[in-house]
Structure 1
Amino acid sequence: MTEQFNINQFNCSISGMGQTLIWAHGSTGSIQSEDAIGLYAWHRFPKKLQLIRYDAVGHGLSSAGKCVEDYLWPELANDMISIATHLSAPSELILGGQSMGSVTSLYAALKYPEKVKGLILMNPPTAWDARAAQVDIYPKMAKAARIFGGKGLARINAKHWGKMLPSWLINGHEHSVLGTLDGLKLMTRQTLDRLFRAAALNDLPNKQHIATLTMPTLILAWEGDKAHPIETAIELHKILPHSTLHIAHSIDDVNEWPKLISEFCLNNDNNGKER
């Protein structure tokens, strides 16, 4: 895919100048849905740093993938690095993302370690044995997507927030939490079918491979989310030799995350070493 890469296929947002953070959203999300919930406070991200955000293939305003393989996490990692390269980002990057975006960043760091000086892994999803135990869920999700489409799934999900997100997070962002569904509403039946079929094939990288990553890593997770269990975050913290883990137990904890992300990027703007 890299050889045929077309930056015009991707909806991108660029702000600031300097050390670059390239950020990837979660599955069925988008730039728009992240802005709608307001959790990330990107408008307060330091202007002395460059922030690159983009809609992943088939998400938001980016073009749809042509097959299931385009939605596999290692392929999304290729897209991430290609976007940075085509936008003339510095040779050394900080990569980060939420859920699917966090794994995209991991795969990109493994494939291009010389390009990555820091990682931010927010809400890493189910992984390894836990993911294998729920693999049968994804074909059912793909079937539902073919029947209801993005708008239909958004309506269904809006009625079942309690099973999807921590109650304290819903209460803390009750006026904006529905914004997380904005990305889903834009997705076609075909795209969602391919995305969920790919989800059945996706998993985090091998633990031994992850252990080879030596760049500073910030891991953020919240308690009470079955799709993003803190066990994944805790295990990643054990594996990654230079990682810091923050687990949120309340809305006040989550509200600190934008500051933690900014400080991490500022502190690692020094040839890949923490100041």
Structure 2
Amino acid sequence: MTEPFNINQFNCSISGSGQSLIWAHGLCGCMQSEDAIGVYAWHRFPKKLQLIRYDAVGHGLSDTADSVDDYLWSSLAQDMLNIAQHYHAPKPFMLGGQSMGCATSLFAALAKPENVKGLVLMTPPVAWQARAAKVDYYHKIAKAARILGGKGLAQMNAKHLDKMLPSWIIDAHKHSVLGMLDGLKSMKRHTLNQLFTAAALNDLPTKQQLSTIQVPTLILAWQGDEAHPVSTAKALNKALPNSTLRVASTMEHVNDWPELISEFCLGLKP
């Protein structure tokens, strides 16, 4: 039997009013880490639109989950839809996210296509055959997380930021890029183990499933990131019937992303 949805489990943030964009962060991130890195510039998001952000289950200030299944992307998608419903986001609404949040949005759009009128997919995660090749890696990280915990993983990742972000973004944000690890530091061993075990099971929807998503979609990708390869973004662009792809190779390109997201959302008719 499915447990009733409890909004009190989630740390949420709401600003503006009008048409809604529900936004989800990436794996081991949170709202705090998004704000720290300074790429998103949510303070510039139009006030005539409603922005609903939240820490996913097990992340940031939200409660942890009971099982690995709760961290599957299809489960996170149901959380996203439940949050939209709780805050009475006017239907149809927009969904978006970065990496894990991108996957969450796609599964939510497949689950409730009538509720969604647009998607913003930022740095889609490695998928399909390329993801299958990383299953052992996710299991190794799950095992390491059981030993090191959030602080230990954060220290390890701080020495290998080039595995998490393109080098040109690290160079441009030397003073703030470590802030993206803030959310990871407080995460518990058991939670991280479950998260990375789920990561080994997760994958994006099939290309046949993606072909049924008809809504306008903005895909934002960047060069030089193994975990979020441009090849995934290009495959999504090809599979989604009504999508536009922008690929960044410089910080100037990424600096345009907040405006691109705002223009995209404003351009969708109520």
TM range (shorter): over 0.9
Aligned residue for 1:196? Answer: 196
For the residues of structure 2 that align with 1:176 and 1:149, how far apart are their CA atoms? 22
Q: Report how far residue 164 of structure 1 moved.
A: 2.5
For the residues of structure 2 that align with 1:136 and 1:94, how far apart are their CA atoms? 34
Q: How many residue pairs were aligned?
A: 270
1:146 aligns with 2:136: no
Aligned residue for 1:82? Answer: 82
For the residues of structure 2 that align with 1:138 and 1:38, how far apart are their CA atoms? 28
* Aligned residues of 1:142 and 1:192 also touching (Cα < 8 A): yes
Q: Secondary structure at the match of 1:200?
A: helix
For the residues of structure 2 that align with 1:29 and 1:165, how far apart are their CA atoms? 13
Alignment of 1:1-275 (within 5 A): 3-268=3-268, 270-271=269-270
After superposition, the C-alpha distances for 1:79-102 in whole angstroms (9 at most, x for unaligned) are: 000001011111211000000000
User: Which amino acid in 1 is paired with 2:89?
Assistant: A
Which deviates further from its counterpart, 158-167 or 231-240? 158-167
Q: Secondary structure at the match of 2:221?
A: strand
Q: What percentage of residue pairs aligned between the two structures are identical? A: 69
Q: Report how far residue 3 of structure 1 moved.
A: 4.9
* Aligned residues of 1:68 and 1:195 also touching (Cα < 8 A): yes
Where structure 2 has 5 or more consecutive residues not aligned to the other structure, the ranges are none
User: Which amino acid in 2 is paired with 1:99?
Assistant: S
User: Which amino acid in 2 is paired with 1:181?
Assistant: L
* Aligned residues of 1:10 and 1:56 also touching (Cα < 8 A): yes
For the residues of structure 2 that align with 1:261 and 1:196, how far apart are their CA atoms? 29
* Aligned residues of 1:2 and 1:78 also touching (Cα < 8 A): no
* Aligned residues of 1:2 and 1:79 also touching (Cα < 8 A): no
For the residues of structure 2 that align with 1:250 and 1:215, how far apart are their CA atoms? 28
For the residues of structure 1 that align with 2:37 and 2:170, how far apart are their CA atoms? 11
For the residues of structure 2 that align with 1:133 and 1:151, how far apart are their CA atoms? 27
Q: Report how far residue 155 of structure 1 moved.
A: 0.7
User: Which amino acid in 2 is paired with 1:147?
Assistant: I
* Aligned residues of 1:149 and 1:188 also touching (Cα < 8 A): yes
Q: Report how far residue 163 of structure 1 moved.
A: 2.8
For the residues of structure 1 that align with 2:54 and 2:122, how far apart are their CA atoms? 16
For the residues of structure 2 that align with 1:169 and 1:163, how far apart are their CA atoms? 12
For the residues of structure 2 that align with 1:223 and 1:111, how far apart are their CA atoms? 31
For the residues of structure 2 that align with 1:163 and 1:113, how far apart are their CA atoms? 34
Q: Secondary structure at the match of 1:148?
A: helix
For the residues of structure 2 that align with 1:200 and 1:3, how far apart are their CA atoms? 25
Superposition RMSD in Å = 0.9
After superposition, the C-alpha distances for 1:244-271 in whole angstroms (9 at most, x for unaligned) are: 0000000100010000000000001x14
User: Which amino acid in 2 is paired with 1:218?
Assistant: L
What's the TM-score, normalizing by structure 1?
Answer: 0.97
For the residues of structure 2 that align with 1:183 and 1:236, how far apart are their CA atoms? 28
User: Which amino acid in 2 is paired with 1:89?
Assistant: A
Distance 1:215-1:262 versus aligned 2 partners, 3 A rule: same
For the residues of structure 1 that align with 2:203 and 2:36, how far apart are their CA atoms? 28
Where structure 1 has 5 or more consecutive residues not aligned to the other structure, the ranges are none
Q: Any runs of at least 4 consecutive aligned residues in structure 1 with deviations exceeding 3 A, and if so which? A: none
Q: Secondary structure at the match of 2:201?
A: coil
For the residues of structure 2 that align with 1:2 and 1:32, how far apart are their CA atoms? 30
